[in-house]
Amino acid sequence: MEKRSILHMFDPTPNNSPFDINMAVDAGFDILMPYSNVKLDSVYRLTQDAIFSRGPAGVKRTALFLGGRDLGLAMDMLDTARQAMVPPFDISVFADPSGAFTTAAALVACVEKQLIAVHAKELKGSKVLVFGGTGPVGIATGVIASLAGAETYLVDHLSLDAAEDVAKAYNRRFGCSMKGAVASSDVEKIALIADVDIIFSAAKAGVQVLSAAVLESAKELKVAGDVNAVPPLGIEGIKHKDSGAPLIHAVNSKGAVSVGPLAVGNVKYQLQNTMLKIMLETDTPLYLDFREAFIKARLIV
């Protein structure tokens, strides 16, 4: 009889995400084992506890999910889990802290699709702003865009130093070339967006970061994407289901179009489901993060 599938879910925060648990059930895992307050130095031991108890057949039905809110910590946990594997007792591992990797991959893929379809332009060589750029989704969005060749700025709403520190830290970690920027006033926002090709909004839910008046200054804007589904949306004029609709307030742009949060969310849902199912179906252990997520997201859109 085939052994039941088990997903061990390590989270360094006090609570595992109900969203991730729901997604794992819908992906087909039989048993979920959530672990909260997991420290990095516990990951090696916990991983080996998970792999040595099931035998080769059971190991193929076992996987590990890494959550939390800290992208760097999630990647360190993934590396530690990989080091703990002892073939043939090795399992697949998927890092998606705060859903940031799959959300960012979906956002960039959806925007890239419109950039190519409407403007015949690629991410490579495009100038990109990421509002909410020092949060988990913003950082992941910036890393993906930068690695794709875009000139990428992480925008913080209070501190240039904070944005630059985050950009430098993740540039070192992933070999990208992001820069920091600050936009604490409409004057600063107007200056930032004047010559930008792409705007990603990954700011706090329910906070509008770009008003109609500010958007009038976006003369080179081609695509704007927003992941905030809580009114008001981050970018005024974007509607929830937009997928290539004209961005009505970017009146001085060259045909800017918008991607709304429900369009992104639909791809994100399919993407996370796909990534979880891959771990159930593979015969070869996989180590999955934002890079694999972006490859899959491009296929989905």
Residue type at 22 in one-letter notation:
N
Q: Is it the case that residue 193 has pLDDT exceeding 70? A: yes
93-119 in b/e form (b: 16+ CB < 10 A) is bbbbbbbbbbbbbbbbbbbbbbbeeeb
Can you list the alpha helix ranges (DSSP code H) found in the chain? 18-27, 40-51, 55-59, 71-84, 100-119, 136-147, 160-174, 186-193, 212-215, 261-281, 290-300
- pLDDT at residue 54 in the model: 87
Q: How far apart are CA 71 and CA 146, in angstroms?
A: 16
Stretch 146-172: mean pLDDT: 97
Per residue in 108-123, pLDDT (tens digit) is 999 999 999 999 999 9
Q: Please, how many CA atoms are within 13 Å of residue 253, restricted to the half-sphere of its CB?
A: 28
For residue range 140-151, list pLDDT tens digits in order: 999 999 999 999
Residue 79 has pLDDT above 70, yes or no: yes
pLDDT bracket for residue 1 (50, 70, 90): low
Question: Model's pTM, two decimal places?
Answer: 0.97
Question: Which structural domains are found in the chain, ordered by start?
Answer: 6-95 (3.40.50.10280), 103-264 (3.40.50.720)
The helix/strand/coil state of 34 is strand
Report the alpha-carbon angle 201-205-210, nearest 5.
40
Measure the CA–CA gap between 84 and 104, rounded to whole angstroms.
28
Residues in the chain: 301
> What's the CA gap between 167 and 296, in Å, rounded?
25
Residue 152 clears pLDDT 80, i.e. is over it: yes
Q: What is the mean pLDDT of the chain?
A: 97
Does position 258 have pLDDT exceeding 90, yes or no?
A: yes
Look at the block and give the residue holding tokens 């060589």: 125
Nearest to 12 by CA among 33, 44, 40: 40
Predicted local distance difference test score (pLDDT) of residue 175: 97
